[in-house]
Amino acid sequence: SAVISQKPSRDICQRGTSLTIQCQVDSQVTMMFWYRQQPGQSLTLIATANQGSEATYESGFVIDKFPISRPNLTFSTLTVSNMSPEDSSIYLCSVNTEAFFGQGTRLTVV
Amino acid sequence: GEDVEQSLFLSVREGDSSVINCTYTDSSSTYLYWYKQEPGAGLQLLTYIFSNMDMKQDQRLTVLLNKKDKHLSLRIADTQTGDSAIYFCAETNRDDKIIFGKGTRLHILP
């Protein structure tokens, strides 16, 4: 099974700033996904991170707010830009080959 | 659109069996999953079932799939206090993305 490492595991950020979350997988995977879990809610897919091309965003999410990089088959980053308190959530990356998730990044925006 | 529905709460006495139910709408789902999320923790993939199966058993866990009714259930035998968590039902859609239910909070009564 794939081992997925995310960092940071948690952060408290000032509104208006940006945070980049890293996701590292211990094996090469074609598809990586970024999810958001708002407090008390289920998970919502933000985007699919494609290696060698731009990420594919779900309805309600845009590249300017959540830029994603996917430089190779084992790594991806998600940036939460110009943060507001409404962005306080857990952000998780996943690899769909085995539907495993990283432990998530708990973000609090103050 | 795609939708996954599950009840929000379930209370079970310690030692009894827990049955968490889920319905989904996408008939093209290939895999269906059950995840466990303990307080403050990430997602743990408990088990999954391929859509051409109707049952899967793994120690205390039994997954039943009724593809005709688009109904999935998770049975936890001999429920323990450590089983207290939120359980998410999820399916892969035709684009290989995972769609989640809102989660069922399992509460164990002494």
Express each pLDDT in A58-97 by its tens digit: 999 999 999 999 999 999 999 999 999 999 999 999 886 5
| Cα–Cα distance list, A102 to A87, A88, B30, B52 (Å) | 19, 18, 22, 28
Nearest CB among A42, A90, A92 relative to B102 is that of A42
Give me the pLDDT at residue A96, please: 67
Give the span between the Cα atoms of B89 and B6, in whole angstroms: 7
Nearest CB among B48, B96, B99 relative to A31 is that of B96
Give the span between the Cα atoms of B42 and B35, in whole angstroms: 10
Looking at CA atoms only, how far is residue B90 from chain A in angstroms? 10
- Predicted confidence band of residue A103 (pLDDT cuts 50, 70, 90): confident
Give me the pLDDT at residue B40, please: 73
Mean pLDDT of the region B30-43 = 86
User: How many CB atoms within 10 Å of residue A12?
Assistant: 11
Q: Which residue of A has its CA nearest to B93?
A: A96
Q: Give me the percent of chain B exceeding a pLDDT of 90.
A: 67
Looking at CA atoms only, how far is residue B42 from chain A in angstroms? 4
Spell out which residues of chain A touch residue B42, defining contact as CB-CB under 8 Å.
90, 92, 101-104
